[in-house]
Amino acid sequence: MTPPLSTLCRALGYEFHNPALLQQALTHRSVGGKNNERFEFLGDAILGFVIADALFEQFERASEGQLSRLRSSLVKRETLAKIARGLKLGDHLRLGPGELRSGGQTRDSILADAVEAILAAIYLDSDYSTTRRVILQIFESLLAGLDLNAQQKDPKTRLQEHLQARKIGLPSYQVIDITGDQHAQTFTVKCRSEALEQESDGSGSSRRRAEQAAAAAMLQRLEDE
């Protein structure tokens, strides 16, 4: 194993018995051949369960909705990308020429996927309990810093609750535009409340982010009335 990967293993707190698994976890599909796409699928599932289990134990009185929001904040793309940067994963990724030219080693989506893939590689190289230990070690400070009372609901949830409190039907969301290359698209979504005859637009790097932005704009409009 090359020294840089040894450094990565020390940061992870895990030494691979089969280094080829780590190499595959760091290989983006743009390279071709064996890549980390299937590892992402497995790693996402393992991470979601371990974090859910940890939150269930940590917050005994939290509701299902509160636990779901806490889990989402920990396993979302931005959080995983931040963890990846702390591990300096971008220095170890294997990317195709196009992704290298476009700065793929710094893109949140690629970094987040690599974190999930590495967790799957650790699981395949060892067992569940070992993978759980690594995950909890990586997320230790994030888990310790959680405040259930300070956890904010996302704009779509707040808009939904705002409308339900006024006995108004839920809004609809429609993608009205998609621009940019496939690896760097920008989505524009329209949020519309038929009952209030109100609509707002929002943009983001994914449909989910665009919907959240549109919901936030709608909330602001309703609060300003």
Give the structural domain span for 36: 3-144
> Is 37 annotated in the active site?
no
Does 203 map to a domain? yes
Does 85 map to a domain? yes
Q: What is the pLDDT of residues 203-223, one digit of tens each?
A: 998 999 999 999 999 988 887
Residue 2 has pLDDT above 60, yes or no: no
Is 60 known to sit in a ligand binding site?
no
- For helices 37-58 and 64-75, angle between their N-to-C axes, nearest 10 degrees: 140
Q: Which of 15, 37, 44, 177 is catalytic?
A: 44
Q: What is the pLDDT of residues 17-74, one digit of tens each?
A: 999 999 999 999 999 889 999 999 999 999 999 999 999 999 998 888 788 878 988 9
How far is 46 from 194, CA to CA, in rounded Å?
A: 40
Q: Residues 222, 162: contact at Cβ < 8 Å? A: yes
Q: How much is the pLDDT for 100?
A: 87
Q: What is the pLDDT of residues 80-112, one digit of tens each?
A: 999 999 999 999 999 999 888 888 899 899 999
- The domain boundary residue, chosen from 105, 125, 144: 144
Amino acid identity at 197: E
| Domain count within the chain | 2
Alpha-carbon dihedral angle through residues 61, 65, 66, 70, given to the nearest 10 degrees: 130
What is the band of 1 on the pLDDT scale with cuts at 50, 70, 90? very low
Is 113 known to sit in a ligand binding site?
yes
pTM of the model: 0.69
Q: What percentage of the chain reaches a pLDDT higher than 70?
A: 96
Query: Phi and psi for 113 in degrees, rounded to 5?
Result: -60, -35
Q: How much is the pLDDT for 49?
A: 97
- Judgement on whether residues 161 and 55 belong to the same structural domain of the protein: no
Residue 129, domain CATH = 1.10.1520.10
Query: Phi and psi for 138 in degrees, rounded to 5?
Result: -65, -40
- The domain boundary residue, chosen from 144, 174, 193: 144
Q: How much is the pLDDT for 162?
A: 83
What is the band of 196 on the pLDDT scale with cuts at 50, 70, 90? confident
Q: Which of 99, 116, 125, 211 is catalytic?
A: 116
User: b or e along 79-97 (b: 16 or more beta carbons within 10 Å of the residue's beta carbon)?
Assistant: bbbebbeebebbebbbbee
Smallest CA-to-CA distance from 49 within 110, 129, 109 is with 129
Is 147 known to sit in a ligand binding site?
no
- Judgement on whether residues 24 and 121 belong to the same structural domain of the protein: yes
29 DSSP 8-state letter: G
> Is 44 annotated in the active site?
yes
How far is 104 from 96, CA to CA, in rounded Å?
A: 9
Q: What is the pLDDT of residues 125-174, one digit of tens each?
A: 999 999 999 999 999 999 998 877 665 678 898 888 888 878 888 999 99
